[in-house]
Amino acid sequence: MQGRKPVKTASSVRVTVPNRVDLAGGTLDIYPLYLLVPGSMTVNAAIEVNSIVRIGPVRGRSRLRSENFSMAVEASDTHGFSAESRLGLIAGALRFFPPVAGVEIRFRNEAPLGSGIGASSALLVATMLAMDALLGRRRGWEETSRVAMEIEAAHLRSLAGRQDHIAALRGGVQGIRFHPGRIEAKRIGAGSGEARKLAAHGFVAGTGKAHHSPDVNWRMIRGAIGGNTEVLRKFRGIAAAAREAWEAVRCGEIVEAGGAVGREWAIRKTLAHGVSTAKVEKVLAAREFRRRVAGAKLCGAGGGGMLFGLMRGPEERDKVEAFLSDEGFTVYPFKLSGGPRVTVGGDTLEGDTLGGDTHSTWYSSQ
């Protein structure tokens, strides 16, 4: 798309997309691992910890602004931002679209850096949805998730999965199976009885330690790609736990789902050094915690980030969250998300923030 005359627009767009917690089967969404492990499945839930992008017209040069990093860069159009900077992932996404001049793109994540809940991937998805809305284009979630995964892999110079992008695009609870050439993604809506029951039992808390998923993921999967029978056996166990978790959630059997979460983690933490931490293992082994929680795990590749779990009953929430706070974790509200919110319209962004107004709804995952 290089060499095209930059487009100018008077529209403004605001996009909010959810991050996710993975119940079981993370890493199995990475090609080619799911081809090596029969019955591979990833189960996740989109939560109301969001990634937000807003695009609007400005005078002069185009700007790319991160509120998390408190930094901004300028260029003649959206193809001019460096892909090698701290804002490189978003700059890379912008180059997938025709160049646009005279706009400001502002973004932020509600999750802390290195949370393990797919915030960077969700921000990438939000950017793609915002650009599609700005340019009056639509594409299916499968195409968007595939393109987003490839942009992210190119930016990281590493393997990347697709579960984060799918959760951000579809919301609710996802049971994702990966087949040669296609994805089979079943969804439980965030407003359904099964999802409400999951939300009533779920919790999420930050460990205070950032994780770096490419490093941890590669340590996990290189043995499988190399044909290590023990590693492949463990991944088959993770796939089985994911299938069990999906069936339990689908049937509203949340304590059983928690058991599957716990079984998945018991296998996952043995796959590579650094998947778990001493702080996390201390909490998971505590008698009080085990009495009140059916199963818990670190999100994503592990190594830090967010701890997710399912309580044995909703009445345990206050005690579980108080226990986690006493152990130095940061507890976040746990609420499922129905999916992206994209609005088109409004004034220019100069002097504005990412909060607040809504206008005509352009897109809904429902």
Identify the pLDDT of residue 358.
35
Partner residues linked to 173 by β-bridges: 45, 188
102 assigned to some structural domain: yes
Pairing assessment for the beta strands 182-188 and 173-179 based on DSSP bridges: antiparallel
Identify the pLDDT of residue 352.
33
Q: What is the dihedral of CA 145, 151, 155, 156, to 10 degrees?
A: 30
Pairing assessment for the beta strands 341-344 and 360-364 based on DSSP bridges: antiparallel
Provide the domain limits for residue 54: 7-364
201 assigned to some structural domain: yes
DSSP 8-state class, residue 246? H
2 assigned to some structural domain: no
Number of domains in the chain: 1
CA-atom Rg of the chain in angstroms: 20
Q: Is 258 left (phi over 0), alpha (psi -120 to 50) or beta?
A: alpha
Identify the pLDDT of residue 212.
63
Q: Quickly list DSSP for 31-58.
A: TTHHHHSTT-EEEEEEEEEEEEEEEEE-
pTM of the model: 0.90
152 assigned to some structural domain: yes
d(CA 358, CA 342) in angstroms, rounded, equals 9
CATH number at residue 232: 3.30.230.120
Nearest to 273 by CA among 215, 206, 227, 205: 215
1 assigned to some structural domain: no
Pairing assessment for the beta strands 62-66 and 293-298 based on DSSP bridges: unpaired
Beta-carbon contacts of 164 under 8 Å, excluding residues fewer than 6 positions away, are 19, 20, 118, 121, 122
Q: Quickly list DSSP for 308-346.
A: EEEESSGGGHHHHHHHHHHTT-EEE---B----EEEE--
Alpha helices in the chain (DSSP H): 33-36, 88-94, 119-134, 141-156, 163-170, 193-201, 213-225, 229-250, 254-268, 278-285, 287-292, 317-326
Task: Note down pLDDT in tens along the chain; length 366 residues.
Answer: 445 667 666 589 999 999 999 999 999 999 999 999 999 999 999 999 999 999 999 999 999 999 999 999 999 999 999 988 899 999 999 999 999 999 999 999 999 888 899 999 999 999 999 999 999 998 999 999 999 999 999 998 888 899 999 999 999 999 999 899 889 999 999 999 999 999 999 999 999 888 666 667 777 788 899 999 999 999 999 999 999 999 999 999 999 999 999 999 999 999 888 889 999 999 999 999 999 999 999 998 777 899 999 999 999 999 999 999 999 999 999 999 999 999 998 533 333 333 333 333 444 454
First vs last C-alpha separation in the chain = 32
d(CA 180, CA 165) in angstroms, rounded, equals 19
